[in-house]
Chains A and B, each alone.
Chain A
Amino acid sequence: MMTPAASLARRFYIVLFFCFLVGALVWGTFAARKAGDRLEERSRAFLEAGAARVDEILGASADRQADLMDRAVSRLSANLDREFADVPFDVFRDREDLLLEYLRERLDQARERQRANTALIADIFREEARDRAFHAFEGLVTDQERQVGELADRLSRDLLVWGGAFLLGIGVLLGLVFHATVIRPLRRATLVFEQMRAGDLSRRLRPGGGEEIDRLARSFNAMAEEIESYQRDLEDRVARKTAALSSALAEQQETNDTLRATLDELSSTQKQLIESAKMAALGTMARGMAHEFNNILGGISGCAADLAEDVDDEDARRVLDVIARSSRRALVITENLLSFSRGSQHVRGMVALRELLDQAVALVEPEASRRGLVIEVSGPEAEPLRTDGRGLQQVLLNLLINAVQASTTGGRVRARFLVEEDAQIFEIEDEGAGIAAADMDHIFEPFFSTKEQEPGAGGTGLGLSVARGIVTELDGRIEASSAGPGRGSCFRVVVPVSSRS
Chain B
Amino acid sequence: MRLSLLLVVAALLPLTAPTERRPAPRPARVAIFLWENSPNDLEALAGLRRGLEVMAIEVVAEIRADQDEARARRELLALEDDGIDLLVALGTRSVLLAREVLPRTRIVFSAVTNPVLAGIAPGWAGSGGPIAGNSNWLDRRRMLEVFGQGVPGLRRLACLRTPGNAVSAAEFEEARVAAAAIEGLEIVDAPVADPAELPRLLDRLLPEVDAVWLPIDIALYQKEPMRVLFEHAVEARKPVVASVARAAGAGALLTLSVDYRQLGLKASSLVRRVLEGEDPGTIPIGRMSATRLHVDLDAARRIGLELPIDLLLDAHVISRREYVK
Binding site for B on A (CB under 8 A): 67-68, 71-73, 75-93, 95-96, 98-100, 103, 107, 111, 113-114, 116-118, 120-121, 124, 127, 130-131
Contacts and interface: CB of A to CB of B under 8 A. Distances in A.
B10 interface: no
A67 B272 CA distance: 46
Q: How large is the interface on B (under 10, 10 to 19, 20 to 34, 35 or more residues)?
A: 35 or more
Contacts of A120: 312, 318, 320
Nearest to A77: B1
Contacts of B54: 91-92, 95, 98
B239 interface: no
A75 B310 contact: yes
The 5 closest A-B pairs by CB, nearest first: A75-B313, A88-B269, A82-B290, A88-B266, A91-B51
B5 A103 contact: yes
Q: Chain B contact residues: over half helix, strand or loop, or mixed?
A: helix
Contacts of A67: 309
B313 A117 contact: yes
A99 B50 CA distance: 11
Nearest to B22: A94
Contacts of A81: 4
A103 B8 contact: yes
A91 B1 contact: no
Contact of A71 (B8, B297, B309): B309
Contacts of B262: 86-87
A118 B4 contact: no
Interface string B1-26: 10111001100100110000000000
Nearest to A80: B4
A90 B313 contact: no
Given A91-B269, A96-B16, A131-B325, A82 B289 contact: yes
Given A80-B1, A84-B8, A88-B266, A118 B289 contact: no
Contacts of B5: 80, 103, 107
Given A77-B3, A83-B290, 12 more contacts: A75-B314, A77-B4, A80-B5, A82-B289, A86-B290, A88-B51, A88-B266, A91-B272, A96-B16, A103-B9, A116-B318, A131-B325
Contact of A88 (B268, B297, B309): B268
Contact of B265 (A77, A79, A91): A91
Contacts of A99: 12
Contacts of A76: 1, 313
Given A83-B290, A88-B51, A95-B54, A71 B310 contact: yes
B181 interface: no
B290 A85 contact: yes
A114 B289 CA distance: 20
A66 to B, nearest CB: 12
Interface in B65-91: none
B109 to A, nearest CB: 16
B254 to A, nearest CB: 14
A117 B318 contact: yes
A278 B186 CA distance: 155
A131 B325 CA distance: 6
Interface of B: 1, 3-5, 8-9, 12, 15-16, 51, 54-55, 259, 262, 265-266, 268-269, 272-273, 288-290, 297, 309-310, 312-316, 318, 320, 324-325
Contacts of A96: 12, 15-16
Nearest to A79: B314
A121 B309 contact: yes
B15 A114 contact: no
A392 to B, nearest CB: 152
A82 to B, nearest CB: 4
B162 to A, nearest CB: 31
Contacts of B309: 67-68, 71, 121
Nearest to B55: A91
Given A86-B289, A86-B290, A124 B266 contact: no
Contacts of A117: 312-313, 315, 318
Nearest to A90: B269
A96 B313 CA distance: 30
Contacts of A130: 325
Contacts of B312: 117, 120-121
7 contacts: A71-B309, A77-B1, A80-B1, A83-B290, A88-B269, A92-B54, A118-B313
Given A79-B314, A96-B12, A103-B8, A86 B266 contact: yes
